[in-house]
Every structure is written in C-alpha cells, then in structure tokens.
Structure 1
Amino acid sequence: MEAGIVGLPNVGKSTLFNALTCSVAAQSANYPFCTIEPNEGIVSVPDDRLKRITEFIVPQKIIPAALKLVDIAGIVKGAAEGEGLGNKFLSHIRQVDAIMQVVRCFEDPDVTHVAGNVDPIADIDTIETELVLADMQTLENALGKAQRSARSGDKEALLRVSVIEKCNAHLESEQPLRTLTLNPAESNAISSYGLMTAKPILYVANVDENDLEGKHPLVEKVRAHAAKSGAGVACVCAKLEAEIAELDEADRAEMLADVGLAEPSLNVIARETYRTLGLQSYFTAGEKEVRAWPFAIGSTAPQAAGVIHSDFEHKFIRAEIYSLADLEEYKSEKEIRAAGKLRAEGKAYIMQDGDICHFLINP
C-alpha cells in the first residue's frame, strides 16, 4: 500500500516528503516542475505499543510497520489536458492507493504561490477539478468498450456500463467518486480503471511555525471542506519538521520541547496516512524480533498472515492470539497460555487492531 503526495507547486510538498523520509537530497529550486519523476520513500509508522510489548518480550530487533510514499510533481490547472506534463503526473496518481494533498496555509512573500495568492480551498478545488476531468475521460474511454460487450447480454459488462454511467453522473455534478456509495460488486466492476477521485484523501495543512496547532482561519476552512467528504486533516510546519528531522535524538527532543510539541508532527502525519489507507496493525513477538504488520481493516486471519508471506495465507491452519492487555496483566506468553487467555482462531476470524499473533501453517 502506498500514498502519493500531491499539491500545487511551492506548497511545501517536497519539503514534507524529504522530512518524512529523512531525505538528504538537496532542496529543489523555488519553481514549478522541479520534481519530474516521482521520488519514493519508506516511512515508519510510530506505534507506542511496540515499546510496551518489549517491556515483557525482549527482542533482538524492533520493526515498526512501514508505508510507501511517492512524491508526485506539482499539478497545475489544465493538467487533465496535458498542461505542465499533466498526463505524466496524473498517471503516477493512478498507481497509488491513497492521496495526501498538501495545501499551503501560511503567508511568505519569499515563496511564490503559483496562483498569486494563498487560498487552500482554491488549491484543493484546482486539483480536484483536474482529477474529476481525468476520471471522466477515463470512464468515457471505457464506456464504448463496455457497451459493445454488453450487447451480447454479458452480465458483467451490463453491470460495468451501469456503474460507469452512475459514476459519470456523479462526476458531472462536480463531486469526487469517494463521496459516491457503491456496493462491492459495483466497486469491483471499475476497480481496474485506477479512478483518482475514488481514492481516500488526507489533507495536510502546511502551517506557519507560529501556528503549529492549526488555528489559523485558512486551516479551519480546510477542516470544514474535509468534513463534507469524511476526509482527514493533519497540520504540519514542513519547514520546521525538515529542520527537526536533521537533528540527532537529543537535539531533536530539545527543539520539540522549545516549540511545545510532544512529538514530531511527522509522526501524526504517518499515523493519519496509515489510517487513510485503511490499515491497522497486528504484532508478532519473540526473542528474534517484535514487529508490527499492516493489514487492511476487515481482513481475515489468513489474509493477515499473507502479509508476512503469501504461502501463509494458502497454508493457514489457525492463529493463536492474545492482546497487549493480556501481556501487561500476565507478564509473559507462558502465563497467558496457563491462564487460558491464548485464543485459537480459525479462517473466518476477523483480525483486530493490536492482536499479538502466532500463525500455524501447513508445511
């Protein structure tokens, strides 16, 4: 699972990406299209439950869950018609599972805004319009083929035509597809199209270092907009976080204390992105390693086991599961087992966030 960082040029997108991935790459120049190919990075997802587990199970290694981020070059008005290498940039968005849109919520005369003034809602509308237009084009191209297949009475093709028409009507009302309710069969019928407005989105408000809590009216406008479609919002001062990311641990803690942050805002961004992707974590714990594994909400035990290795899903027998609360109460897995708290779960079990697991598989 991966998220693509998008935004208009000069909103702090690449600065945020560099900070998130602790990149040492040289900062890009202050002009549009400085990032031509998407940069990719792996980001750890902070989770204090890992530390709590290791108080009772001491491993050689601690491995947090991770997610992949893609820094996609700035989009401008007209991207759907190819402006600013738009087609190339839009193709990168089609390949990710969720979108992080960075919106500028700070004033700085030294950083030029591509539209001439700072207006995060106008920025959001610009990008959303381009994605809506691109999705309409994709569906229009797909409709003819689906209609030809439907003439034979093929049920799948008939459903596909119906869903395409339903989606197009929604897009024509200038609404993104993430606000359209489709049943599983309908979603599956168009899943291969990579429709961008159907992807979940997280708005990242890039704020001034004097507004780390995001109380500026510009941020409130972003929150109000996001609430209409159930999107998340996270605040970050990308410039400050880039400076913090370059410090060693001791200096980092001191700087965080100086600015009144309990943790880097990047930690919040990573967790919110994880949530936006629809992911939760289960844990495996032993002397070799204590590790967090990502799984899609609603996954069965075999599907979650398959995250470790695809063979684990096909050869799954059962899962032995206990909770962190059990570990903190009984202090060891041996005592959890002795107390009858170690649960045996089969193939139909729906994994829960925070489960600590052993998977038993066929050889």
Structure 2
Amino acid sequence: MLSAGIVGLPNVGKSTLFNAVTRTRKAEAANYPFCTIEPTQGVVTVPDDRLAALTTLSKSQKTIPAVVEFVDIAGLVKGASQGEGLGNQFLSHIREVDAIVQVVRCFESSEIHHVSGTVDPLRDIEVINTELILADLSTLQKRAERLQKQVRAGDKQAKAEAALIDKLLPSLNNGSPASAVSLSQEENDLLRSFFLLTAKPTIFACNVAEADLAAMLSEKAAPSGYVAQVNQYVQTHLNTEAVVISAQIESELVDLDAAEAAEYLASLGLQETG
C-alpha cells in the first residue's frame, strides 16, 4: 500500500488537510505549534470509475479498490536535522513513507500564528528542504563511513554503494535534492535501500484562503501572489508543479452530505473545490 506523509512547518494546515483527505477528525488542528506529536494515520480509497466497469465485465464477486495511507506528521522547524522541535523523531516518521505532500502556507491570517512571524512561502519551503537535505547528508556520510572497510576489501556491493554516495553528495551539498540527480536503473534500485528523504516523490500543496480559492476557480485566472511564487520556485528548482487547495474548505465539507456540500460551495460561488 502506498503511503504519503503530509509535512510542513507548524500551523500551515497539515492536520486540517489530513482530516479533509481522510474525511475524519482524527488529527487535532489547533492554533499552536506541535499540536501533533505522534503521526496520525488514515487510509483513503482511490476513486476509479474504471473499476466498476471492470468488475461488471469480469463478473467479479469482490471488488478491491486501490488505497493510499496518509500520515499527518508533526511540523518541522529550522534545526530539525539537529534535533530542534523533536526534529529527529519527526524526520524518522517521514523516512517511513513512500511520498511526501509538503503543505505551504499561502494565506494571511491574524488569528493563525506563523512560527516565523510572517507569511513567506519560499522561505518556508527552503526551511523544510534544507532540513531534509541535511538529514540525507548525515545519512550518506554515516553510510560511507561504514562502507570503508568493505570497499577496501573489494566488496562489489559496497563499491557500488560508495560510488552512488559520491554521485549524490555534490547535489545535496549544493542544496539540491537527491531526486535531481540523474541515475541509471541500477542506481535507482540501489538508492531505495538508502531511504533518503529528498529522493521521495513530492507534491507541493499551496494552502490558500477560502476567498482566494473561490476567486481563482470562478475567474479561471492564472495563480498570482504567493501561489505564483511557489509555482515558479518548484518548477525552476525542483522540476515539479504545485497544487492549490483550501484545507479549510475541504475540512468544512467533511461533515456535510452531498446536498449540504453543494449548498456550501454555492455560498462561496463554487461548484467544486478544484
């Protein structure tokens, strides 16, 4: 089963998004840092219209949909790789998942405190990415030290691992993730055994205010402001794209039936959330 860890700084909307995606209230969402300590887990069925058609065609007695496990991981802070904010514990939780959803705060609010005092999505991304990179550097350096004796003895596997480490270190030392390094299939297979944080597929989720999402969807306009900054950054530096969500809207929909949800969205001038 695929697992995805929801990460980000404290108070960016991780737990709210987790509750929305899993349609539960399992994760505590509060206006103070580290209201989540232990990771909260929830399993979500992947919608697939083709599954019903295939079930009918095959006359199957049982239909088993694909599922994804989402994990709400406590907020990271600057210095997490050195243990700040229980950082080592939180980083170990990230290491256990297959993919990462990095929630980025793209909304202003005088009621929701930002750990840095101001809203700056690019700074927040840099903080998270730097901590993940530093953790990976530590992992590789320790592994390289353990391999030295085996490499000197001519161990083929150890030599391959050491060569891969040498290939990865320059990218990480330059502030780029392991995923940015071009690798052969054999190297990619070997990379999985390293459990590097920055080698994991990552989605950046821009968490915007209700009004901002409504404006974007109703006007079908190109993202602007904070969202545009994040999009440009992740496209340029990480070769990926960001998605736009309003965790608050999604959370409000959790307790509503279909008719109530449609009425709520209509009150915001929306037909859907994205």
Report the 3-state secondary structure (helix = DSSP H, G, I; strand = E; otherwise coil) of the residue aligned with 1:186: helix
Q: Name the structure 2 match of 1:128.
A: 129
Letter in 2 for 1:133: L
| Aligned-residue offset at 1:191 | 2.3
| Aligned-residue offset at 1:240 | 1.1
| Aligned-residue offset at 1:24 | 2.6
| Aligned-residue offset at 1:238 | 0.6
Preserved contact between residue 200 and residue 231 of structure 1 (Cα < 8 Å): no
Is structure 2 residue 249 aligned with structure 1 residue 240?
A: yes
**Change in CA separation of 1:94 and 1:25 when aligned onto 2, cut-off 3 Å:** closer
| Aligned 1:1-363 pairs, distance under 5 A | 1-25=2-26, 27-50=28-51, 64-212=65-213, 213=216, 215-228=223-236, 229-265=238-274
**Change in CA separation of 1:174 and 1:59 when aligned onto 2, cut-off 3 Å:** same
Letter in 2 for 1:255: Y
| Aligned-residue offset at 1:254 | 2.5
1:263-308 deviation digits (Å, cap 9, x = unpaired): 444xxxxxxxxxxxxxxxxxxxxxxxxxxxxxxxxxxxxxxxxxxx
User: Hey, what's the Cα distance between the residues in 1 that align with 2:27 and 2:13?
Assistant: 14
Which protein is richer in strand relative to its size?
1
User: Hey, what's the Cα distance between the residues in 1 that align with 2:257 and 2:133?
Assistant: 43
Preserved contact between residue 18 and residue 27 of structure 2 (Cα < 8 Å): no
**Change in CA separation of 1:182 and 1:257 when aligned onto 2, cut-off 3 Å:** same
| Aligned-residue offset at 1:78 | 0.2
Letter in 2 for 1:37: E
**Change in CA separation of 1:50 and 1:189 when aligned onto 2, cut-off 3 Å:** closer
Report the 3-state secondary structure (helix = DSSP H, G, I; strand = E; otherwise coil) of the residue aligned with 1:34: coil
**Change in CA separation of 1:152 and 1:58 when aligned onto 2, cut-off 3 Å:** closer
Preserved contact between residue 17 and residue 71 of structure 1 (Cα < 8 Å): yes
TM-score by length of 1: 0.68
User: Hey, what's the Cα distance between the residues in 2 that align with 1:148 and 1:84?
Assistant: 36
User: Hey, what's the Cα distance between the residues in 1 that align with 2:53 and 2:270?
Assistant: 22
**Change in CA separation of 1:26 and 1:100 when aligned onto 2, cut-off 3 Å:** closer
Aligned Cα RMSD in Å?
A: 2.1
Report the 3-state secondary structure (helix = DSSP H, G, I; strand = E; otherwise coil) of the residue aligned with 2:207: strand
User: Hey, what's the Cα distance between the residues in 2 that align with 1:201 and 1:112?
Assistant: 26
Q: Name the structure 2 match of 1:272.
A: none
1:30-73 deviation digits (Å, cap 9, x = unpaired): 11111111000011222333466678788887654220000000
Number of aligned pairs?
265
| Greater displacement, 31-40 / 253-262 | 253-262
TM-score by length of 2: 0.89
Letter in 2 for 1:197: T
User: Hey, what's the Cα distance between the residues in 1 that align with 2:241 and 2:20?
Assistant: 20
Preserved contact between residue 135 and residue 197 of structure 1 (Cα < 8 Å): yes
Which protein is richer in helix relative to its size?
2
Larger radius of gyration: 1
User: Hey, what's the Cα distance between the residues in 1 that align with 2:89 and 2:28?
Assistant: 22
Aligned-pair identity in percent equals 49
